[in-house]
Structure 1
Amino acid sequence: MRAIVINEFGGPQVLTETELPDPRPGRGQISIDTTHAAVGLVDVFFRRGDLAGRPDLPQPPLVPGLEVAGTVRELGDGVTGFQVGEPVVTLSQVSLGGYASVTLAQAAMTISLKDTGVDPAQAVAALPNATTAYLALTRVAHLQKGESMLVHGVAGGLAAPFVAVARSLGASRVTGTVSSPARIKDAELLGLDAVFTSDRFVEDLDGQLIDVVVDPVGGDVRAASLDILAPLGRILLLGHASRTPDTPVTGDDLWHRSAGMLGFEVGGFLHANPGAARPAAEQVVSLLASGELTLRVDELPLSQAAQAHRLLEERRVPGRLVLTV
């Protein structure tokens, strides 16, 4: 199979195209003839070695890529409910392996697209993060019908699906922030009630308080979010894309505000609770099928994986990047 391999941590130039043996599925796994592989900021973290200190994550040599779409190639022992040739998409998998023409996946982390009419590029770009959004909003932040929500970094691939998922759960007002005025246009497709820049969102809210803040950014944005929380408000922590560290928050900072900060890492959660994956995905696949959830998707061939990483690091991606295989 064709694959992009990282033999050592470093810049985009370490992404090397090579030929590897086709993997065979083990028990509980399927192999997928990959047509589309999502590219996300977490892939950049893997490539640079930002996550190298975590013993539970793969180390070089490795094939990056957490999510793919394609068709079922082969079923491993014990796998039922799928047929060879069936269109599928995977959720985020910490085992990686997506930048390849054949990908192994846990069957429990694989969702059928049969008879949905969902485009595979949209599926791999949106469904994994929409599933993250559904789990985070229902099981962690406990978003209630009629509550307001603000999404930081809303033009990014992880954050964007939160808007449609929150609407489907009954959120009354959904707003977002972006890193610069130039990115406001990138968020227009999402159907937000308002979009602010991250350096002015507190002033621009003009006293409006927010029930749930979705924050994959961290740093100064995270600290400022405490000042716009409604009583019993929650900040949902999903990552740390910011280049600035967090301001330490004490328990007193939270209880004086009647507020909470709640973390959620979907990869670790689903690895420990694989049975939660498919039910959550099935709750949001209809949003893709109906067009309620649509992202801008730009495609590059697998051979241009290094260019995809450069574009991400330079913050020149207006929606989601997907590699075609």
Structure 2
Amino acid sequence: MQAIRLHAFGPADNLVHEWAEDPLPGPGQVRIAVAAAGVHLLDVALREGMTGPYAAVAELPTIPGREVAGTVESLGEGTDPAWLGKRVVVHIGMAPGGYAELTVADADRLHEIPAGLDEAAAVAMIGTGRTTLGILAFTELGPDSVVVVPAAAGGIGTLLVQYAKNAGATVIGLAGGPAKVARVEANGADLAVDYTLPDWPGRVRAHLDSIGRRATVVYDSVGGVTARAAVDLLGKGGAHIVFGWSGEDLHKGGPLTFTPEEIAERGITSESVLGPTMIQKGGGLRALETLALAEAAAGRLRPSVQRYPLAEAATAHRAMETRGTMGKVVLEP
């Protein structure tokens, strides 16, 4: 099969498109003919050899990728034969193998792709979608909500904007550059602003003043100065929900945090929702995955997908590192 393999940790050019042995499904597993493989920002960090609470150094050489969709084309011993020939999507966990024409996965992790949903959209929802719904479990949105979404043109940001608008909230989307701002506007945000321009907080404040409101929620995946400026827009009782810090260096950066004294003075809450806390709050990973796929199948959430051929995995990684992507990045063999 054709696959993307990593022989040494380092830059995107270390992702090599080459022939690899076809994987064999073990007991209770299936082999999937991959139609779409998700690319995650964590894949970039893993490619560089990062370790941490959600990552472990892979044994090299390795085929990256943890989110795949395609058709079950063979079964391991003891696997339910009903899976054969079905279109499926799966988050295979920390075990790699997705950037390839074929991959194996445990049958008990599979979801059948709902009719009318293509494989790329299914991949977006199995990872990005489940995370979005996990984040949303920490807030209740309605017509009185004023939501600020940094990175609103990204995979999670796109879905946050849609969900908030469906709930009747006022939504302010932040994005970097005219093309991304246009995408956020087209996605339904009430106001879309370019956070690379120095006057963006003033534009947002002027809009809030015009409607007589202050922000009630900031969904923060960027950290740094952008997140701090966004939090400054919160009114008393507002919530700062942290689920990443992509605006900072992956290795040296960290989330925007506040001291208890700052929290008390501002009259807000600030909560990091990554990891087990989010999983428990959302009812478990499988429940979040099932809900995400159902929301997409019903048309209530519409993932934005940026597609690359499998052979261009290195290009996709470089684009992610330079914030040159919009929506969920997907590789297609």
Identity %: 29
Name 2:269's counterpart in structure 1. Answer: 260
Name 2:154's counterpart in structure 1. Answer: 156
Residue 135 of structure 1: CA displacement? Answer: 1.4
**What number of residue pairs does the alignment pair up?**
319
**Counterparts in 2 of 1:108-119, with a 5 A limit?**
108-114=108-114, 116-119=115-118
Name 1:36's counterpart in structure 2. Answer: 36
SS in structure 2 opposite 1:303?
Answer: helix
Residue 43 of structure 1: CA displacement? Answer: 1.9
Separation in 1, partners of 2:82, 2:276: 23
Name 1:222's counterpart in structure 2. Answer: 227
Sort the Cα spacing of 1:229 and 1:80 in 2 relative to 1 into closer, same or farther, 3 A.
farther
**Counterparts in 2 of 1:55-134, with a 5 A limit?**
56-61=55-60, 62-75=62-75, 83-91=83-91, 93-114=93-114, 116-134=115-133
**Contact 1:8-1:14 at 8 Å conserved across structures:** yes
Separation in 2, partners of 1:302, 1:317: 16
Separation in 2, partners of 1:280, 1:257: 33
Deviates more, 1:74-83 or 1:190-199: 74-83
Separation in 2, partners of 1:165, 1:46: 30
Sort the Cα spacing of 1:136 and 1:275 in 2 relative to 1 into closer, same or farther, 3 A.
closer
Tell me, yes or no, if structure 1 residue 302 matches structure 2 residue 301: no
Residue 86 of structure 1: CA displacement? Answer: 0.9
SS in structure 2 opposite 1:184?
Answer: helix
Separation in 2, partners of 1:28, 1:212: 43
Name 1:188's counterpart in structure 2. Answer: 185
Name 2:203's counterpart in structure 1. Answer: 204
Sort the Cα spacing of 1:91 and 1:143 in 2 relative to 1 into closer, same or farther, 3 A.
farther
Sort the Cα spacing of 1:179 and 1:82 in 2 relative to 1 into closer, same or farther, 3 A.
farther
Separation in 2, partners of 1:261, 1:78: 47
Give structure 2 stretches of 5+ with no counterpart: none
**Contact 1:64-1:97 at 8 Å conserved across structures:** yes
Name 2:18's counterpart in structure 1. Answer: 18
Residue 27 of structure 1: CA displacement? Answer: 5.6
The residue identity in structure 1 corresponding to 2:284 is A
Task: Let me know the Cα RMSD of the aligned residues.
Answer: 3.0
Sort the Cα spacing of 1:144 and 1:155 in 2 relative to 1 into closer, same or farther, 3 A.
closer
**Contact 2:258-2:270 at 8 Å conserved across structures:** no
Tell me, yes or no, if structure 1 residue 242 matches structure 2 residue 247: yes
Rg larger for: 2
Deviates more, 1:57-66 or 1:21-30: 21-30
TM-score by length of structure 2 reads 0.83
Residue 268 of structure 1: CA displacement? Answer: 9.2
Give structure 1 stretches of 5+ with no counterpart: none
Residue of structure 2 aligned with 1:142, choices 136, 139, 143: 139
Separation in 1, partners of 2:272, 2:87: 33
Sort the Cα spacing of 1:260 and 1:33 in 2 relative to 1 into closer, same or farther, 3 A.
same
Sort the Cα spacing of 1:171 and 1:129 in 2 relative to 1 into closer, same or farther, 3 A.
farther
Tell me, yes or no, if structure 1 residue 285 matches structure 2 residue 293: yes
